[in-house]
C-alpha cells in the first residue's frame, strides 16, 4: 500500500464515516442496538440525502483547501471556516445544518476581527470534539515534522475553535497516532509508539489525569458499555481508537463507531479517518464512496493535497 493510498483512505474514510453517522446523530445506543446502521441511509435526524457529510466533513475539507492553497496558515484556515458558516463553503449541498456551540462562538469572534488562533474557547466546558473532528489534514501535513513542531502546528490549528489545553493535546495525541499509521504500523504498535512520544513531550501537567486512559489503559479490552460516545473530546478520541483496535476492516470499524450512538457523525468521522489510513482507500466500500456528493470536487482537492505534501522521507 502506498502512502498516497493511505492518505486518500483517511480523507475519504472521514467523509464516509461522517455521512454514515449523520442520519442517526443524537439517537441513543439502544436505538442502534435495535436498528443498527449497516450502510448509507437517507434523511433521519437532519433530513439529508444519503452520503451527506456534516460540519465535521465540511471543516475538514476547508482545512485541506487551506493547506493546499496557503500552506500552514491558521488565520486563513479560520477565515475559510467562517466562509463555510456564512456561505456554505464545502458543504455537501450548500446548506449548513449542524454546528457546535463552541465552534459557532469562535467563528463569530473571527468574523468580528479576533485573530483565529485566539478565537477558540479556553474554559473547562469548551472541550467538545469540534477541533478533533477536522484535524486529520493538519496531522497528515505535519506527520514528518519533529514532535515539537508537530505539536505546535496542531495545537494552533485546534485553537481556532477549541483553545483549552485538553482539546489541543487530544489533537496532538491524534496527530502522533496518525503519523504512526501513515508509516504503516499496525494499530497496537502505533498506539504504543504514540504513547511514548506523547509522554516524552508532555511528562506532566494539569491535563495529565484526563489522558490516563489513553496513555495507560488496555482499552481495547473494554466492553462496549465502558466506551462513551458523546461529544467530549477525550471520549471521541478514545472511542475511535477503541473501534480501530477491536475490528479488522474499514467497514467493521466505522459501523462499530456509528452504532455506539449519540455523537455518531463525529465518532464515525474520526474512526473512519483512522481506518482509512490503516486499510487504504481500496478498502472502503465503493458504494459508500459513490454516495458522497461533489465527486469531481473531492477528487481534484484530494489530488492537489497529495501533490502538496513533501515526498516520503
In a domain, 171, yes or no: yes
In a domain, 206, yes or no: yes
pLDDT at residue 282, as a whole number: 98
Number of domains comprising the chain: 1
pLDDT at residue 117, as a whole number: 98
pLDDT (tens digit per residue) in 247-287: 999 999 999 999 999 999 999 999 999 999 999 999 999 99
**Helices assigned H by DSSP within 160-263:** 165-182, 187-201, 212-216, 233-245, 250-258
8-state DSSP, 112? T
pLDDT at residue 146, as a whole number: 97
Find out whether 18 and 46 touch, Cβ atoms under 8 Å. no
In a domain, 12, yes or no: yes
Q: At what angle do helices 3-21 and 264-279 cross, to 10 degrees?
A: 160
pLDDT at residue 238, as a whole number: 97
CA dist 183 and 176 (Å) reads: 11
In a domain, 254, yes or no: yes
Q: Which residues of the chain have pLDDT under 70?
A: 313
In a domain, 266, yes or no: yes
C-alpha to C-alpha distances, 269 to 41, 225, 261, nearest whole angstrom: 16, 21, 13
CA dist 96 and 84 (Å) reads: 8
In a domain, 40, yes or no: no
Q: Which domain holds residue 197?
A: 3-32+53-308
CA dist 249 and 152 (Å) reads: 32
In a domain, 203, yes or no: yes
pLDDT at residue 313, as a whole number: 64
> What nine digits make up the cell of 186?
499496525
Placement of cell 441511509 in the chain: 41
In a domain, 303, yes or no: yes
CA dist 182 and 16 (Å) reads: 19
As a 3-state breakdown, the chain gives helix, strand, coil percent values, each rounded to 5, of 65, 0, 30
Write the CATH number for 233. 1.10.4080.10
- Report if pTM > 0.85: yes
> What nine digits make up the cell of 234?
477525550
Amino acid at each position: 500500500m502506498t502512502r498516497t493510498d493511505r492518505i486518500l483512505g483517511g480523507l475519504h474514510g472521514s467523509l464516509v464515516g461522517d455521512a454514515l453517522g449523520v442520519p442517526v446523530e443524537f439517537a441513543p445506543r439502544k436505538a442502534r442496538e435495535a436498528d443498527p446502521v449497516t450502510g448509507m441511509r437517507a434523511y433521519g435526524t437532519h433530513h439529508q440525502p444519503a452520503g451527506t457529510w456534516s460540519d465535521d466533513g465540511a471543516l475538514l475539507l476547508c482545512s485541506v483547501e487551506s493547506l493546499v492553497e496557503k500552506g500552514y496558515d491558521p488565520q486563513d484556515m479560520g477565515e475559510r471556516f467562517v466562509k463555510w458558516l456564512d456561505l456554505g463553503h464545502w458543504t455537501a449541498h450548500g446548506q449548513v445544518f449542524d454546528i457546535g456551540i463552541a465552534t459557532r462562538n469562535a467563528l463569530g469572534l473571527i468574523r468580528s476581527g479576533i485573530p483565529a488562533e485566539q478565537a477558540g474557547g479556553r474554559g473547562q466546558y469548551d472541550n467538545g470534539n469540534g477541533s478533533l473532528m477536522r484535524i486529520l489534514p493538519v496531522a497528515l501535513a505535519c506527520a514528518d515534522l519533529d514532535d515539537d513542531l508537530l505539536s505546535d502546528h496542531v495545537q494552533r490549528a485546534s485553537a481556532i475553535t477549541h483553545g483549552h489545553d485538553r482539546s489541543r493535546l487530544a489533537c496532538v495525541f491524534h496527530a502522533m497516532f496518525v503519523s504512526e499509521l501513515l508509516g504503516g504500523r499496525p494499530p497496537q504498535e502505533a498506539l504504543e509508539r504514540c504513547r511514548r512520544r506523547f509522554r516524552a513531550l508532555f511528562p506532566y501537567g494539569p491535563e495529565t489525569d484526563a489522558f490516563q486512559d489513553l496513555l495507560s489503559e488496555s482499552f481495547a479490552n473494554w466492553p462496549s458499555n465502558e466506551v462513551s460516545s458523546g461529544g467530549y473530546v477525550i471520549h471521541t478520541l478514545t472511542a475511535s481508537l477503541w473501534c480501530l483496535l477491536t475490528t479488522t476492516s474499514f467497514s467493521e470499524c466505522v459501523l462499530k463507531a456509528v452504532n455506539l450512538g449519540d455523537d455518531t457523525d463525529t465518532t464515525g468521522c474520526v474512526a473512519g479517518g483512522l481506518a482509512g489510513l490503516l486499510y487504504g482507500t481500496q478498502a472502503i466500500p465503493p458504494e459508500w464512496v459513490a454516495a458522497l456528493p461533489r465527486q469531481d470536487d473531492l477528487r481534484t482537492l484530494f489530488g492537489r493535497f497529495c501533490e502538496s505534501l513533501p515526498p516520503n522521507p
